[in-house]
């Protein structure tokens, strides 16, 4: 599909459909949970822990149905190890993408630097991949300081997006 970027037309073989999640970190997620769930009223969905990712997170949600946005409240399992999911406090943003494999292939060919780990299953069961916050010598484009998670949108999200964009 062709998209206009300034005065250029770009052929991009995928679409970003919307925000899938934001991830907020702290050295103590109980304070985050009190703010986001108890005071702001987000819905608590469950907990996810991963030794390899050094994370203990509460998965919460705001919004409804297919377009609900996940809010992950994270703390490191071991504060002496990396990655440190509590720094920066706004750890990453997740974006729904209609075709993750095509997006990763195309973005890689354009010089985007991806974090190690490749495409894999994420905490919510969706296929994910991360754009590294920094560029590298071989990949000159990164997230400009922001870790960006690309998330394969399920069919229902793609259909909701397509239906809402026709209105």
**CATH code of 81's domain:** 3.10.180.10
pLDDT at residue 2 above 60? no
Burial class (CB within 10 angstroms; exposed 0-12, middle 13-18, buried 19+) of 75: buried
Report the predicted TM-score, pTM, of the whole model to 2 decimal places: 0.82
Inside any domain, residue 161: yes
136 falls within a domain: yes
Can you give the pLDDT at residue 25?
Answer: 94
pLDDT for the residue numbered 5: 54
Task: Say if 7 falls within a structural domain.
Answer: no
The pLDDT tens digits for 23-81 are 999 999 999 999 999 998 999 999 999 999 999 999 999 988 888 999 999 999 999 99
Q: Is 95 a domain residue? A: yes
Is residue 43, in this structure, part of any structural domain at all? yes
| Domain around 158 | 19-165
Asked if the structure places residue 5 within a domain, the reply is no
Burial class (CB in 10 A: 0-12, 13-18, 19+), 5: exposed
- Work out the average pLDDT over 92-115: 96
Supply 101's token pair: 């494999």
Q: Encode pLDDT of 104-140 as tens digits.
A: 999 999 999 999 999 999 988 999 999 999 999 999 9
Q: What is the pLDDT of residue 40?
A: 86
**pLDDT band, very low/low/confident/very high, at 164 (cuts 50, 70, 90):** confident
Residues in Cβ contact with 132 at an 8 Å cutoff, skipping those fewer than 6 apart: 113, 114, 115, 139, 142, 143, 147
Is residue 12 domain-resident? Answer: no
Number of domains in the chain: 1
pLDDT at 64: 85
Within-domain flag for 23: yes
């Amino acid at each position: 599909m062709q998209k206009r970027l300034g005065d250029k037309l770009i052929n991009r073989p995928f679409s970003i459909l919307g925000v899938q999640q934001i991830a907020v970190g702290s050295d103590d997620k109980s304070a985050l949970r009190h703010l986001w769930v108890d005071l702001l009223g987000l819905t608590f969905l469950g907990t996810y822990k991963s030794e390899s990712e050094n994370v203990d997170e509460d998965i919460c949600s705001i919004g409804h149905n297919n377009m609900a946005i996940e809010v992950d409240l994270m703390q490191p399992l071991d504060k002496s190890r990396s990655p440190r999911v509590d720094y920066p406090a706004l750890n990453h943003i997740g974006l729904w993408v209609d075709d993750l494999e095509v997006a990763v292939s195309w973005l890689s060919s354009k010089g985007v630097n991806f974090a190690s780990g490749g495409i894999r299953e994420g905490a919510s069961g969706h296929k994910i991949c991360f754009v590294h916050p920094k560029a590298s010598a071989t990949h000159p484009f990164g997230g400009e300081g922001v870790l960006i998670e690309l998330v394969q949108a399920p069919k229902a999200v793609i259909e909701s997006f397509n239906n809402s964009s026709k209105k």
